[in-house]
Structure 1
Amino acid sequence: MGDAIGASADVAPSRTSCSTATGTTKSSAGGNGTRPSSRSLLGLDSVTFLMADVRDGVGPYLSVFLSADRHWQPGAIGVAMAASHVAAAICQVPAGLLVDSSRFKRTLISVSGLLVGLGCLLIVLSHGFWPVVAAQALLGAASAVIPPAIAALSLGIVGRRLLPSRISRNESFNHAGSFVAAGLAGAFGQYLSTNWIFYLVCAFAVASAAAAALIRPNEIDHELARGGESPDNRCEPIPIRSLFGRPGVRAFLVTCFLFHFGNAAMLPFAGQVLAKTHPGIDTVALSACIICAQAVMVAVAWTVGRVMKSGIGRKPIFAVALAILPVRGVLFSFTTNPVGVVAIQLLDGVAAGIFGVIAVIIASDLTSGTGRFNLMQGLTALAVGIGGSMSTIVGGYVVQWFGFPAGFLLLAAIAAAALGFFFVFMPETGHGSAGDEAGTEALAATEP
């Protein structure tokens, strides 16, 4: 969407020498040493808002759609939902490498969003098992590019020191977008048909592609965007094998895997419970779950940025998110009441709101000066995707064989294991608050 026109301005001068210096960007400057323009920052805000409904496709609504409209069994639904997770998992590392090397990140975001919209259309138009699975695979593969590309643009535009404030703002807009999309999806599903939820994703995909064109290509420092230490210390990326030898990388990836193994299937299971026990209001209740959780996530994402700026480390913040999951799983096992389900889902607003911000910041900490920031984003998403796939497949068959309470308790146990593993093996990556002390100036520099 316009990258080709601005290609010459999109490329910062390259350096061939590699530096392990630990310099930082200017606190009031963007990635290329100047304050980002209002237009580029508005573009980032708009993309993160609109992509909220695109990068996850129809999410838990697919479970309700296949259960209520197509009358699929829980096991088959789990396989269909896992198809997007598996495809995303396979594509995460290539997506990270692609974003690291590409100077057309805006185009990557636009094309990926449009492919997600195409996948949603195919699901609506298809009635067989395998066409739906194939469409889900397309959706998952395309969505793999979106999160690392947005994170890379953010880092390349505002710089490393301002990244915590920028990611906090990104996540606030992302959850606000999910809030609006869930409200529209609930209304469309109730008063039109479930098919319109899929059409809504297509509309958001087109709008997000247009929004990406607002970002000025000459304001993106691609060295910073891939994890270079500063615009003046350019280096060749370290070998991929060396990345896994850095302290905390493997523990972080395992934690992300376990987090989503215990988390991913909870809301889809809750949607299936509502579809079976309260037919007719399942879509509205599920939308209420998402709307309420997203409202909480907006506040939590905003708060996490401020908490990091105050000097609190990454590890205790992440631990809060991990501690919430087992509680949520146990509570879900005891109720089928729509009001109770919505209330319990508020806990997801806290956990997911924290994870969305802190995972990107930890990935940035772990890859400082390596040139592998987006590869790390891809590896993180790979761990998330594998965990999500295991959650829906294993959990789906446990539910089919033993019932929903057993499925929720299994997920709660896995989440508890994630918390224990994290406490024992994950080091603190913040190294004090030096990277987060941007203050009011930092916040102002990341806003239009």
Structure 2
Amino acid sequence: MSPRAASLRSTRTLSMLNFSLADVRDGLGPFLGIYLVGLGWAPDEIGFVMTVAGLASLLATTPAGMLADATRFKRLLVVVCALLVAVVNLVLLLWPQTWLIAFSQIATGVAAAAIGPAILSLTLGLVGQSGLAHQLGQNQAYNHAGNATAAVLAALAGYVYGVEAVFYLMALMAIVTVLLVLMIRPEEIDYDEARGLDKTSHQSESIVNVFRRHPMLLVVGATLLLFHLGNAAMLPLLGQRVAANEVMNPAVYTAGTVVIAQMTMIPMALLAAWYSHKNGYWLLFLIALVVLPIRGVIAATVPGLWTVIPVQMLDGIGAGLLGVATPGIVAQILRGTGRVNMGLGAVMTIQGIGAALSASYAGVIANWLSYEAAFLALAGVAALAVVVWLLLFDRSVSSSAFHGVAR
């Protein structure tokens, strides 16, 4: 069937699915650091357990992308991941032993690795390449709105009942996710489109060929590795600094940081979808990369709680643009290969190296020097991502690949 035959019900449900997944895909996120501070953990210990989650995600992302390409049970894949995250984190709450905390983060990392390619696969299967930029913008806008809503609810629950309430909120959103997945009509998913095959390609390329013939995929991965090495620990570190200094309720503060960022991401995601439809993704990447070093310097050098506003608005700009640009540019580069979701998984694997190391990198510096030194160290790494993008990525790849879809 044509991907354009997908009903409005299925595409709207896909958008709402991204809303509910916002509180599931990343697990406890920054609230984990606050919870562990309350249990008496040091910054470097928290960094190491977050690194465990990152490494688990790192190992699972490429196989998860291959699974998303191969399986016709794409809806079931999302359901299993959502329920897994909810269950293991409830177990963590009830029995907060070190080995269970580590196990819960491994499971969360694996689930997060699978959800990204699964959602891209469903999106391509429903709307095809021609509708991808628009639907990616919708997906990300709803996802960021879901993050902001979940953060507000978490703040209210955390203020009244303590940070433990966040665990139960995540379980509730997992149930909503399952119900929404079941509302997407499986007969409307084009399974060839879902893995990047088109009318000119009849079978998937070999994995070796994908990397040999499409080197810009590796440049995207290397750039995002440096970006996430500088980015992943920044928000958790902000929350930990407040919790350690006992300046205000850390659950409320962390929720505020999330809300500011997510509300900025919504218009940025829609803007990215509009811009990329005519111009490709190169400039979107560059802007997202440039704002991160600025964010780190502000976090390190501007004192006071109000620093969170510019810091998290910059986070919203970067993440809002990359949320659309990353799957979009991978789908463009690998169009016709039948390996789009594997390619996204590979990029997530490479960037996962940076994300996995970020918490430990920043945690050690914060523990031995200061939180301010850690923010500057994160900003320095992020600046390298800008250099790599400017020197190595062939911007004509994004533009030419896009216009090939537009025709």
Whether TM exceeds 0.5 here: the answer is: yes
SS at match of 2:111: helix
Among all aligned residue pairs of Structure 1 and Structure 2, give the percentage whose two residues are the same amino acid. Answer: 34
| Aligned twin of 1:347 | 314
* Structure-1 residue corresponding to 2:80: 111
* Higher-Rg member (1/2): 1
Deviations 1:259-286 (A, max 9, x none): 1001000011111111122344221111
SS in 1 for 2:301: coil
What does 1:101-250 align with in structure 2 at a 5 Å threshold?
Answer: 101-228=70-197, 230=198, 232-245=199-212, 246-250=214-218
Tell me how far 1:153 sits from its aligned partner.
0.5
Matching of residue 41 in structure 1 with residue 11 in structure 2: yes
Find the counterpart in structure 1 of residue 293 from structure 2: 326
Please point out which of 266, 275, 281 is paired with 2:234: 266
Deviation track 1:357-412 (CA, whole Å, cap 9, x = no partner) reads 00011111111111100001111211222111111111111111111111111110
Whether contact under 8 Å (2:279, 2:399) holds in the other structure is no
Query: How far is 1:38 from its partner?
Result: 2.1
Gaps of 5+ in 1: 1-30, 439-448
**Bigger share in helix:** 2
Per-residue CA shift, 1:51-77, capped at 9, x if unaligned? 01100011011111111x201001110
Say whether 1:257 aligns with 2:244. Answer: no
1:219-262 Cα deviation digits (max 9, x unpaired): 1111111111x2x4452211111111213111111011111001
Where does structure 2 lack aligned partners over 5 or more consecutive residues? none
Asked if the contact 1:237–1:370 (Cα under 8 Å) also holds between the matched residues in 2, the reply is yes
Aligned: 1:410 with 2:377: yes
Q: Distance in 2 between matches of 1:33 and 1:350?
A: 31
Runs (4+) of structure 1 exceeding 4 A deviation are 435-438
Between Structure 1 and Structure 2, how many residues are aligned? 404
Distance in 2, matches of 1:350 and 1:435, equals 28
Q: Is 1:297 aligned to residue 265 of structure 2?
A: yes
Deviation at 1:112, TM superposition (A): 0.6
Rounded to whole Å, the distance in 2 between the matches of 1:380 and 1:247 is 12
Give the drift of 1:33: 4.8
Task: Say if 2:26 is the partner of 1:56.
Answer: yes
Tell me which residue corresponds to 1:26: none
Native 8 Å contact 1:293 1:349 kept in 2:
yes
Distance 1:277 1:334 in 2: 17
Q: Which string of whole-angstrom CA distances, capped at 9 and with x for unpartnered residues, describes residues 303-360 of structure 1?
A: 1111122x33311111000000000001111245222123311110000001100001
Structure 1 contact 285–342 (Cα < 8 Å) conserved: no
TM normalised by structure 1 equals 0.87
- What is the root-mean-square deviation of aligned Cα atoms in Å? 1.5
1:367 aligns with 334
Please say which of residues 379-388 and 202-211 is displaced more in the overlay.
Answer: 379-388
1:88 correspondence with 2:57: yes
Structure 1 CA distance for aligned equivalents of residues 381 and 22 of structure 2: 27
Q: Aligned-pair distance for 1:82?
A: 1.4
- Distance in 2 separating the partners of 1:216 and 1:234: 26
